[in-house]
Amino acid sequence: MMDPCGLWEQSGRIPAVGGGRSAETWRGHIVQQLKNRDLRQSAMFQDLIRFYTQLLEKTSLTKGILNLSSRRPSAEDSRSVSSLLQQKSRLKKTSGELAYQVVELQHQIKIKECRLQEQQDRLQEEERRWADVFDAHRALQERVDQVHEANRLLKKKYDELLAQQREAESRLRTEKVREEGLLGHVMGLKKQAAARMNSRNERRSRAREATLQKQLQTAVRSMVSLDSSSSAPTSRSTSPKNECQDEDSQQGHARLFRSASVTSPRIFTSIRHLFDRKRRGHSVCSYQEDLPCPVGICVSARVPARALQVLEAHEQGINAVRFSCSSDLLATGGTDRVIKLWEVQAGSLTHRATLDGSTEGITSVQFDHTGQRILAASYDKSAMLWRLDDSVPKVTLTGHSRKVTAARFTCVLHQVVTGSADRTVRLWDLNRAACVQQAEMPSFCSDVVCSENSVISGHLDCKIRVWDSRVASCVQELPAQGKVTSLDLSSDHRQLLSCCRDNCLQLVDLRWSNNRVCFRADGFKCGSDSTKAVISPDSCYLAAGSADGTVYIWNVSTGNLETCLPERHNSSISAVSWSLSGEYVVSVDRSRRAVLWSDI
């Protein structure tokens, strides 16, 4: 039996010293604990207790036998001894079996204890895993809460932006309505002004006609009186006074009919045409100066002010852009190996056709003077010619050993010129699709342009070379400010524009090669070795795209920056083209974007 002090220590309670009520309480508590312990432990050791009790009985029996053997034996004792011996043998046998059973039970107890220990270890491991899973669950729950909070903030921001967008759309609609109203008002004022002008012109015309009628009647009367006085046979021997009157009348007639021709509507129209041609700092060109100009070219280009359309024109970057001679068709070529044709109508670009056939990217494009064929240079070491009604190339010019950087139509029918990175410029006959002349260059050729009997090439060694196409020899070298990335000729073939890598545009008068003007601007940066700049069709402005996505336009007459067109490109602008009508400008960049600009 366990010591009550040990039970007290186990239970963690100390009995109260005073008071009968408290003494009975802790005694009852101790008795209850003893009973519970007896129930728990007696069930586990019931077999051992039984075996141990049997062993004690057998031990006492053995002691009795020994006592009997120590006394003098009698007959009765002998009988009892024999019986005791028999019982002893049986006891030995039984005790051996009991000992074996005890050992077996102990072994089973050890096995169960091992299993119990394993189960306790597994339980602890599961508890640790459960604690880890609980921590992970708590972390995930915190993350979910954070995501919910972030989503709530984003939803709030989205609602605010949506409200701002709706407000901006409302303002835009209001401004559009206001714009339409103002436009209608302005158109009404213009109609009224036109009506007043027409009425004034009509009154003036009627007054001129009345004056002319009076002058004609006066002239008729004077002619009749002259004929009646000169009917005498001696008409040649008139007096000097009559001669003077005759001369005056002839001069009056001459002045009369001269003034009538001047006041005719045809002359007024021609004079109005003459003075409406150029008004931006340039004098009116003479008839001889207008002769080299192509038919239909404008003489007063518009400076673009805003973007009419922004579109993703290609699947990859765009390298080249060019208007047709009629200005109603636009061609773009890019690194996605195709040329796309766009119709220009009412200030918007509409896709018309796609020309493919090149195995590499397109570097330059150009329409011929009829607008029915298009020539392109490619990275696949060739130049190709398409008809606009066929998507397959009609002619392919091969022979260069490296990429072709430029391809241009010459002034001679069925001839084109190409420039390449293999340091050659070649002249091709389109009828035979063969090279008829080849000029070796000392440097990489970046661009070429053609004038009458000459080819001008730009190079990365900071030189511009003029070649005589009839003998394939260099006749002149012009220095540049840096590596030449592009060339462009004015419509009268008198001015040459070069774009250089030192962020400078150089305009050269080909009649006097020493007359060179440089154009720079703060923020302008040439983006690559193939950046294309352009001269306006009236030769009054220069346009080029910068690496920051801004289009810069300079005034040739003042040499100053005319305007900048920002915020429409998000990458370096590769090329700019100005329509020959002077109405539109298109810029393209490395991020597939094309922007149509105008002043409308």
Tens digits of residue pLDDT in 38-73: 777 777 777 777 777 777 777 777 776 666 555 555
The answer to whether 487 touches 450, Cβ cutoff 8 Å, is no
Higher pLDDT, 110 or 84: 110
Q: What is the largest CA-CA distance in the chain?
A: 224
Q: Does residue 252 or residue 309 have the better pLDDT?
A: 309
Taking the C-alpha atoms of residue 208 and residue 561, their distance in angstroms, rounded to an integer, is: 47
Three-class SS string for 470-533? CCCEEEEEEECCCCEEEEEECCCCCEEEEEECCCEEEEEECCCCCCEEEECCCCCCCCCCCCCE
| Domain annotation covers residue 513 | yes
In a domain, 297, yes or no: no
Domain boundary among 134, 155, 171: 134
Average pLDDT over residues 492-498: 91
Both tokens assigned to 199: 């009425």
Mean pLDDT confidence for 567-588: 92
State residue 80's pLDDT score: 63
- Return the pLDDT at 280: 37
Strands (E), 231-338: 306-312, 318-323, 329-334
pLDDT for residue 391 is more than 80: yes
Distance, CA of 315 to CA of 415 (rounded, Å): 32
CB–CB of 546/525 below 8 Å?
yes
**Per-residue model confidence (pLDDT) at position 13:** 46
**Rounded CA gap, 36 and 203, in Å?**
135
* pLDDT of 5: 45
CB atoms within 10 A of CB 158: 11
* Residue scoring higher pLDDT (223 or 588): 588
pLDDT per residue as tens digits for the range 338-379: 999 999 988 899 999 999 989 899 999 999 988 899 999 999
Asked if residue 420 has pLDDT above 50, the reply is yes
Q: Is the residue at 203 inside a domain?
A: no
For strands 362-367 and 533-535, give the pairing.
unpaired
Does residue 502 surpass a pLDDT of 80? yes
Q: Which residues pair with 589 in a beta bridge?
A: 573
Within a domain: 301: no
Q: What is the domain-level CATH number for residue 561?
A: 2.130.10.10
- On whether residue 237 sits in a domain, the answer given is no
- Asked if pLDDT for residue 487 goes beyond 80, the answer is yes
Which segment of 49-53, 108-112, 271-275, 414-418 scores lowest on mean pLDDT? Answer: 271-275
The residue that leads in pLDDT, 316 or 226, is 316
Tell whether the model's pLDDT for residue 7 goes beyond 80.
Answer: no
Instruction: Name the domain boundary from 89, 117, 134.
Output: 134
Q: What is the mean pLDDT of residues 163-175?
A: 91
Of the candidate ranges 31-40, 169-178, 498-507, 539-548, the one whose mean pLDDT is the lowest: 31-40
**Listed residue (56, 139, 137, 131) closest to 98, CA to CA:** 56
How far is residue 578's CA from residue 596's CA, in Å, rounded to a whole number?
10
Give kind and range of the element (H or E) at residue 380.
none
Laid out side by side, the sheet with 424-429 consists of 404-409, 415-420, 424-429, 434-440
Q: Cα–chain-centroid distance for residue 57?
A: 105
Considering the domain boundaries, does residue 228 fall inside one? no
* Residue 40 within any structural domain of the chain: yes
Q: Which helix (H) or strand (E) holds 444?
A: none
Residue 323 pLDDT: 95
Q: What is the mean pLDDT of residues 162-173?
A: 92
Distances, alpha carbon 77 to alpha carbons 74, 290, 420, 570, in Å: 5, 166, 140, 127
What pLDDT shows up at residue 297? 52
pLDDT surpasses 60 at 324:
yes
- The pLDDT of residue 180: 86
Q: Among 116, 134, 152, give the residue marking a domain's end.
A: 134
> Is pLDDT at 6 greater than 60 in this prediction?
no
pTM over 0.85: no
Taking a C-beta distance cutoff of 8 angstroms, is the pair 585, 598 a contact? yes
Mean pLDDT value across residues 132-142: 93
User: Would 413 be classed as within a structural domain?
Assistant: yes
Task: Please give the residue that has the higher pLDDT: either 89 or 532.
Answer: 532
Could you tell me the pLDDT band of residue 475, with boundaries at 50, 70 and 90? confident
DSSP state of 294: P
DSSP 345-356: ETTEEEEEEEE-
Question: What average pLDDT does the chain have?
Answer: 80
- Report helix angle 4-11 to 20-44, nearest 10: 90
Q: Are 484 and 445 in contact (CB under 8 A)?
A: no
pLDDT band at 88 (very low <50, low <70, confident <90, very high): low
Per-residue DSSP letter, 414: T
Q: Provide the pairing of β-strand 362-367 with 382-387.
A: unpaired
Kind plus residue range of the DSSP H or E element containing 106:
helix 75-229
Nearest to 221 by CA among 261, 262, 256, 264: 256
Is residue 20 very low, low, confident or very high in pLDDT (cuts 50, 70, 90)?
low
Cβ atoms of 309 and 596 within 8 Å: the answer is yes
What are the distances in angstroms from CA 91 to CA 60, 94, 106, 277, 535?
11, 5, 22, 145, 131
pLDDT at 15: 47
Tell me the CB-side half-sphere exposure of residue 79, using CA atoms within 13 A.
2
Per the structure, the count of domains in the chain is 2
- CA 562-574-411 angle, to 5 degrees, is 85
Cα 209 to its chain centre, rounded Å, is 65
Inter-residue contact 560 to 524 (CB < 8 Å): no
Q: Report the C-alpha gap between 213 and 218 in whole angstroms.
A: 9
What range does the domain containing 550 cover? Answer: 306-598
Polymer length of the chain: 600
Give me the pLDDT at residue 291, please.
38
Model confidence at 9, pLDDT cuts 50, 70, 90, reads: very low
Average pLDDT score over residue span 290-304: 59
Q: How far are the Cα atoms of 74, 84, 98 from residue 63, in angstroms, in the given order?
A: 19, 11, 19
pLDDT at 51: 76
Alpha carbon 474 to chain centroid, angstroms: 42
The one-letter amino acid at 437: Q
pLDDT at 157: 92
